[in-house]
């Protein structure tokens, strides 16, 4: 059969990867320099956006795949990371670091391998209607997230993703398709044969109902001593994914819950980082003035006089006014007050609400653990989730302690400022 050439376009760099969107006239291209761009394919090749090379350091793009609806594109990297991007806005909406599970190795010793293929498939709608007609979509049946106030975006914080500011509403559909009983599946393989197979995975295909996955792998036979390419054979392996087939909604529910928990923990840690940065700034600002004050006290007998009387001598008083200045002290007081207020705000408006939302998600997981009829065999551990709930509760208690300490420190700081400015 002869194929007719319909169109032809040239690009400036050699192409490494290319993929056509399954639903729209969009083309995703990765060049040899690891620059990724998406273009509209019509009468001409019109670039929509470009993800420059070096966006993630030396991490190289090794695979790409479209979500079946064409709204999200997945990029697999040499570090083993998988990053999902919104096609319309070029925004990273999710980041995955799949880890191989090896009982012979500790978690710390496991090193991720480069992603060498990605495939994103969706269940056939007809099969869903015939076989899984009575299955419940737990997310749509219990949409508690939609009735909770959205989390505020942490000021001056590096955005984790769009889910950071509003984890439940405007961008939820970028991770999860619109409410339906269909499930889509992103399959990844790496150079170490991750999928619990010690082989090099070349490609994969999935049946329309997602009940079987067929892998095309490159296997080496252990009976052969020499390790050359001639000893490797292409092998087709079909896996029965009955667990996914019969528990698709439960798995999707756990996946959605995991995504929310992941971003909630990142949200909380980002708030902690901001508190640390604010505290470091406050200490650095105070050190400037305290060092000047200490330098003066170390000279002659000013320290002894100061310790005995509690008041500086006239000479020291003039020196302090000259070096610290009233304007400088006022500036120190203003910045200190602002830092204390900022730390309180981080705890009250960001970290504590994030912890409360996290406790809600963990409590939901406890409910799933107890629902043995639906969630048995999916890897949930009630004791493990319960221990995380206890740890989160301890964090909330520590936040209350921090607030009390902040109030005490603030009172001491203001008394010191009053004494420093007006007690002299």
Residue 377: inside a domain: yes
pLDDT value at 153 more than 50: yes
**Per-residue tokens: 177:** 């398709």
220 plus 280 within the same structural domain: no
Share of the chain above pLDDT 90, in %: 8
Residue 367: inside a domain: yes
122 plus 226 within the same structural domain: yes
Cα–Cα distance between 393 and 403 in angstroms, integer?
16
- State the greatest distance between any 2 C-alpha atoms of the chain, in Å, as a whole number: 104
Residue 163: inside a domain: no
271 plus 211 within the same structural domain: no
pLDDT value at 9 more than 70: yes
33 plus 96 within the same structural domain: yes
403 plus 283 within the same structural domain: yes
Residue scoring higher pLDDT (398 or 299): 398
pTM above 0.85, yes or no: no
Residue 142: inside a domain: no
Q: What's the CA angle centered on 172, arms 47 and 269, to 5 degrees?
A: 100
Domain that holds residue 65: 15-135+183-244
Residue 341: inside a domain: yes
266 plus 395 within the same structural domain: yes
Cα–Cα distance between 338 and 271 in angstroms, integer?
17
How many folded domains does the chain comprise? 2
CATH number at residue 73: 2.130.10.10
pLDDT value at 96 more than 80: no
218 plus 323 within the same structural domain: no
Residue 176: inside a domain: no
20 plus 46 within the same structural domain: yes
């Amino acid at each position: 059969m002869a194929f007719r050439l319909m169109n032809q376009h040239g690009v400036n760099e050699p192409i490494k990867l290319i993929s056509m969107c399954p639903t729209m006239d969009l083309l995703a291209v990765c060049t040899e320099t690891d620059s990724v761009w998406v273009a509209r394919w019509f009468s001409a090749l019109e670039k929509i956006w470009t993800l420059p090379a070096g966006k993630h350091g030396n991490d190289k793009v090794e695979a790409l795949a479209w979500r079946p609806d064409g709204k999200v594109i997945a990029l697999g990297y040499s570090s083993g990371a998988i990053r999902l991007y919104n096609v319309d806005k070029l925004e990273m909406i999710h980041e995955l670091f799949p880890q191989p599970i090896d009982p012979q190795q500790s978690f710390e010793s496991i090193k991720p391998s480069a992603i060498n293929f990605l495939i994103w498939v969706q269940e056939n709608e007809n099969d869903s209607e015939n076989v899984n007609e009575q299955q419940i979509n737990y997310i749509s049946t219990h949409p508690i997230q939609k009735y909770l106030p959205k989390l505020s975006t942490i000021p001056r914080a590096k955005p984790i993703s769009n889910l950071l500011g509003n984890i439940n509403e405007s961008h939820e559909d970028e991770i999860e398709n619109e409410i339906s009983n269909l499930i889509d599946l992103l399959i990844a393989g790496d150079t170490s044969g991750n999928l619990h197979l010690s082989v090099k995975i070349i490609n994969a295909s999935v049946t329309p109902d997602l009940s079987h996955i067929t892998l095309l792998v490159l296997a080496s036979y252990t009976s052969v001593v020499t390790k050359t390419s001639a000893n490797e054979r292409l092998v087709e392996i079909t896996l029965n994914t009955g667990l996914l087939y019969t528990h698709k909604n439960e798995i999707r529910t756990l996946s959605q819950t995991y995504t929310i928990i992941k971003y909630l923990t990142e949200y909380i840690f980002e708030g902690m980082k901001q508190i640390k940065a604010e505290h470091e700034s406050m200490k650095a600002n105070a050190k400037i003035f305290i060092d000047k004050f200490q330098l003066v006290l170390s000279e002659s007998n000013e320290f002894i006089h100061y310790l005995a009387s509690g008041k500086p001598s006239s000479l020291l008083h003039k020196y302090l006014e000259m070096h610290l200045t009233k304007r400088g002290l006022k500036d120190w007081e203003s910045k200190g007050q602002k830092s204390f207020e900022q730390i309180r705000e981080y705890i009250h408006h960001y970290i504590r609400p994030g912890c409360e939302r996290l406790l809600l998600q963990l409590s939901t997981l406890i409910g799933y653990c107890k629902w043995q009829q639906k969630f048995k065999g999916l890897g949930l551990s009630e004791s493990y989730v319960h221990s995380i709930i206890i740890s989160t509760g301890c964090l909330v208690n520590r936040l209350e302690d921090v607030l009390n300490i902040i109030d005490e420190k603030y009172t001491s700081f203001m008394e010191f400022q009053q004494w420093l400015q007006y007690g002299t």
